[in-house]
Amino acid sequence: MPEDRRQFDRLQLSEDAFAIDHADGAQLGRVAQASGGGFLIYPATPLAVGKLAVGNRLRISIQEPGSMAVNTLDVEVRYRQGEALGVQFVSSQNAT
């Protein structure tokens, strides 16, 4: 059996968790998984896909309407996996 080399466990999020671009308030897409290092976003629109190009750094807010929770984070888009985009948490000093 292959060894799982992930540094952090993956957690499934509720269906209503979504990412918002902190700069302009645009909805980026549904957040499906989170870990200690980042999360997956399923983009909502073609415009969101453009903002979430691999290598882009941005500040986003994750909102969960059911619990009224909002968290703002600086991230870098690291990879694309099918329709999902993987983002990694970065220091606010490094985000643009």
pLDDT attached to residue 46: 87
pLDDT attached to residue 89: 92
H or E element: which one contains 57?
A: strand 57-64
- State how far the Cα of 31 lies from the Cα of 3, in Å rounded to an integer: 26
8 Å CB contact between 74 and 22: no
The predicted-structure confidence for 58-78, as pLDDT tens digits, reads as follows: 999 998 888 788 889 999 999
DSSP state of 28: E
Residue 79's nearest CA partner among 53, 42, 48 is 53
Average pLDDT over the chain reads 83
Residue-range domain boundaries for the chain: 11-89
Its pTM surpasses 0.85: no
The predicted-structure confidence for 11-56, as pLDDT tens digits, reads as follows: 566 568 899 999 999 999 999 887 878 999 999 888 888 889 999 9
Helical H runs in 1-96? 46-51
Assign domain 11-89 to its CATH architecture. Answer: Beta Barrel (2.40)
Helix (H, G, I), strand (E, B) or coil at 47: helix
pLDDT attached to residue 70: 87
